[in-house]
Structure 1
C-alpha cells in the first residue's frame, strides 16, 4: 500500500513557482486541455476503485459499499459533470439589454484566478479534494493539493497516482508547509480552529479563501413526521462514516412527550441496520485516530443524559458503536462542541418555537434538518433560522443533488463548492466593454465639457424613473400608458408595411 511522504522543504517553493509559470504561460486555459485533464482525473478514480476501497478500509475502516456510495461514485460524477459543462460555464456572458449601453457590447469574461491551494480533510479525503480540484481545473487554474496526514493510505495513493494521470506542470500534490507562500485562492475543508490560522495567513497577501467547515447541525422532529423513515435516515446519518461527516445530524430537538416514541423508532432502525451481529469494526467505519476516539469517550463520560443504547468505546480499535443519549440539556458536555462521531444526543423541548430558539442561541450550523409532513412547520423552521442548507425529511445526501450550492454561513463556512459553484469559486468574473467611436456622435459627446443643456439631456436619458411613493395613489393611465404607446406603434408599423407592400 502506498505511503504518504513529506515533500522536501526546499522543493516546495520551486513547485509553487513552477505552477505559477505554467499558469502565466496559458497552458491550463484552453477548454480542450481542461477537458482532457478532467477526464484523466475521472479515470484516476475509476481505474483504481479497488485500491481506493482498500485505502478507505485501512484509514477509516470503511466498508466497500459505503466507500462507493459516499465517496468514489460521487467523486467520479462530480468530475464528469464538470467535463460536460466546462465549455458552457467558461463562455463569456452578455449583459442584459439596456438602451444606453448595448452598443458597447458589455460582456463578462470568465477568467481563472491563477495558482490555487486546496487543503483536504481526513473524513472524505478523496471527495473533498477532487471536488475543488475539478472546479479549479474547469476554471483554468493551476493547483497544489495538500492531502490529510490523518489518512495516510488514501493520501499516499493519491500521491502515487496523480503524476500518472494529470499534468505535473499544472497540478501537484505537496505534503508540507504551504501557508507562507502567495496563492490566488485557498480552499480549505476542515475545522474552525485551523480555518482561523489559514485566514490569518491568507490575509498577508489578501488572498481570497473558501472555508468548508461544519458545526452542530440540528434536527427538528415533529410528531406528525413519517416516524420510521425519519428514524432510519437520522440514524444512518450518524452511522455513515462513523458520524465523521460535516453534514451529519449532530443532535435532535424533539417534543418532550414525543421523545420516547422517537427513541423507540431509533431502536427499531438500529435493529434493522444490525439484524444478525452487533456493530463492530467489520461492519461499520472507525474513528480516524485514537485521539479522536478518546475525545468522544470523554464527552460520553461527562454527559448528564441517559445512554439508551451503545456507549461502549474501544479506544485501541478506534471503534464507537451507534450511541443514542436521551434527556440531554443545552449545557451538557455533548452540546459543547461538534461531536463528529456516531453519538446522537436527544434534546427534549416544549415544541417548535423552543426548538427554533435553541438553534438560534448557537452558532449558525452547516445544515438545519426538519422532519415533518406539515408545510407550515417546514417554513417556520427555515424562515426563522440560518444555516448553510435547509433540508426537510432527509440528511446528508443533499450534497449530491445536482445544481445546488454547498457551503456554510458564518462559523460553518464561507463560499461554495460542487458543480458550477466550484467553477465559480476559482473564476474571476471580469467585466468588459468595447465602445465604438460613433457613440459619441449620437449621445456620449454630451459628457465632455463645457457642460450645458446637452448634458441635461444625457442625464435624463439614463435616469431611472422611481415608482410611486408607498401609499400614493397611482393613476390608472400611468400604469397602462406604456402599453398604449406600444399598441399605437404596433398599429402604425403594421399600416406602414401594408402601404409599402401596396406600392410595390
Structure 2
C-alpha cells in the first residue's frame, strides 16, 4: 500500500516539476472547472450530504457548495494581484537594486478533509492550493462516505488528473499517506489527530496547517437584547446539529441571563420546527453510532440538570437540542469538545470572571461575546486569545473571506480563506537583483578587506536601519546623496591611508 502511494506522490511531483501549475492560465482553468463541478453536480452532492448527515438543502448549499463557489469567485477575482511580486523596502546600499518578495508554490500538497463539512473542508483548501500553483492529493473523510465517494468520482472528470488526485480510505490509508514526502500538509479535524499529523510532518520538516477545534465559549451579559441573542446563539448550536468546529460549545452567564435565554429558546424551537425536531427536514443527524453514544455519555455523566430538550432516537441517530444548567467545570462535558447539540451553562457573575474562566483553559478556535458594553468588548479583545473573536453574532465570521480563519495553540496553527489561503499555500521567496555598475560597486566597496576603522564607520552609516524618504524623485536623490556622501568619505579616507596622511 505504501509503495503504491509513493508512486502516486512521485507522479504528482513530476507533474509539478513540469512547471505547468505555475502558469496563471492553468490555475484559472482548474478553478473554473472546480466551479463547474459544483454547479453541474448540485443535486448529486446535496443528496450525498443528506445521506451522510441528513443536511437540509439550505445548509448544504449555504455552508458547503456556495461557500466553496464564493471562495473560487474571490480567487479568480484577485489572482492577478496575489501572483504579483511585492516590492520590498530599500536601504541606502540597495537604492540601485531590485528587492522583491515572490510568491511561489510549495509543490505537492496533501489536503486531509473532515467529515462534518465534507465538501467545504476538502475543497476550500484545494482552492487555495490551486490558486498558489500547487499540485494536490485529496484525502476526504471516510466517515462521510457518500460525499467522499462523490468527490473521488467527480474530481478526475473535471480537474487535471495528473496534478490533482483523490484517495479514498480510512485510518490505514491516511497513515500510509503521511509517511510520504509532501511539500505541505493541510489537515482539518480533531486536536488529538492533529498532533499525530504534526508529528508525521517532522520527518521531512514539512510545513503544515492544522485546523482543529476545541471548546468555543460564549459569554452573554445583561446589556444585550435577549430575543435577538437567543436566536443567534440557538441557531449557531443547531446548524449541522452542533457538529461544527466553531459551534458554541458552552455558555457563561449569570443566573438571571440564563433564565431569560432558556425562556426564549423554547418558543424559538416551536416556531422553527413546528412538527418537532425529529420530523423536520431542516434538522440533521449525528454522523455515526459511535458519535451518538459518546454524546449520550457526556450528558449522563454531567452533574447538570436538563433544562430543555433531551429528545433522541438511537435507531435514527437523532439527538435533539439539550440545554444543561448548574454544570460543574469539573464535569467531563467541560473537559472535551462536545461536537453535538448539547449546550452546558456555567454561571459567572461578571465579564472579568468569564475572561478568567476562559484564560484558565486551552485557547479556543472561536470565542463568542454578546454584549453592548464597549468596555466589556474591549476587555475580551485585549485580554483573551482565540483563533477568532465574534461579538454579537455566531458562525457567520466563517463566511467573510477577508477574515483569515484558523486556530491558535491547541485549536490549531495557520489560517486560510481569501488572501490567507493563497498565502498559506505559497512560499514567500526573497529576491535581490544587484546592480553590477561602477556606482553600485562603489557604494559597496567598503565591505572589502583590508578592514579599517574608517571602513567600519562608513559601513555603519550605510547599513543603519533608517526609513528612506518617500516623496518621489527628491526623496530618491536625497537618499542616494546620503549614500554617496558616506562612500566619498570612505574613499577619501582610503586615499589618506594610502598616502600616509
Same fold (TM over 0.5): yes
Trace 1:317-328 onto structure 2 (pairs within 5 A): 317-328=316-327
Which piece of structure 1 moves more, 85-94 or 98-107? 98-107
CA distance in 2, matches of 1:258, 1:454: 71
CA distance in 2, matches of 1:126, 1:276: 30
Selected match of 2:142 from 120, 134, 149: 149
Match for residue 381 of structure 1? 380
Match for residue 48 of structure 1? 41
Which piece of structure 1 moves more, 183-192 or 261-270? 261-270
- For the residue of structure 1 that corresponds to 2:31, the secondary structure is helix
List structure 1 segments (4+ residues) > 4 angstroms apart after TM superposition: none
1:322 Cα deviation from its structure 2 partner: 1.4
Selected match of 1:32 from 16, 25, 45: 25
Match for residue 410 of structure 2? 411
Match for residue 105 of structure 2? 112
CA contact (8 A) 2:270 2:276 kept: no
- For the residue of structure 2 that corresponds to 1:271, the secondary structure is helix
- For the residue of structure 1 that corresponds to 2:276, the secondary structure is coil
For the pair 1:91 / 2:90, whether they are aligned, the reply is no
Trace 1:363-374 onto structure 2 (pairs within 5 A): 363-374=362-373
Aligned length: 463
CA distance in 2, matches of 1:26, 1:215: 40
1:434 Cα deviation from its structure 2 partner: 1.1
- For the residue of structure 2 that corresponds to 1:247, the secondary structure is coil
CA distance in 2, matches of 1:279, 1:377: 39
**Normalised by the size of structure 2, how large is the TM-score?**
0.89
CA distance in 1, matches of 2:300, 2:70: 41
CA contact (8 A) 2:190 2:213 kept: yes
1:441 Cα deviation from its structure 2 partner: 3.9
- What stretches of structure 1 of length at least 5 have no aligned partner? 1-7, 467-484, 490-504
- For the residue of structure 1 that corresponds to 2:369, the secondary structure is strand
Trace 1:292-303 onto structure 2 (pairs within 5 A): 292-303=291-302
1:126 Cα deviation from its structure 2 partner: 0.4
- For the residue of structure 1 that corresponds to 2:319, the secondary structure is coil
1:10 Cα deviation from its structure 2 partner: 5.1
1:96 Cα deviation from its structure 2 partner: 2.2
For the pair 1:305 / 2:313, whether they are aligned, the reply is no
Match for residue 443 of structure 2? 443
For the pair 1:397 / 2:396, whether they are aligned, the reply is yes
Q: Residues 465 and 92 of structure 1: is their aligned pair in 2 closer, same or farther, counting only changes over 3 Å?
A: closer
- For the residue of structure 2 that corresponds to 1:62, the secondary structure is coil
Match for residue 457 of structure 1? 458
- For the residue of structure 2 that corresponds to 1:236, the secondary structure is helix
Q: Residues 52 and 441 of structure 1: is their aligned pair in 2 closer, same or farther, counting only changes over 3 Å?
A: closer
For the pair 1:235 / 2:234, whether they are aligned, the reply is yes
Trace 1:37-436 onto structure 2 (pairs within 5 A): 37-175=30-168, 176=173, 177-280=176-279, 282-436=281-435
CA contact (8 A) 1:293 1:313 kept: no
CA contact (8 A) 1:78 1:131 kept: yes
CA distance in 2, matches of 1:260, 1:34: 54
CA distance in 1, matches of 2:274, 2:128: 42
Deviation digits for residues 303-327 of structure 1, max 9, x if unmatched? 1111112113322211111111112
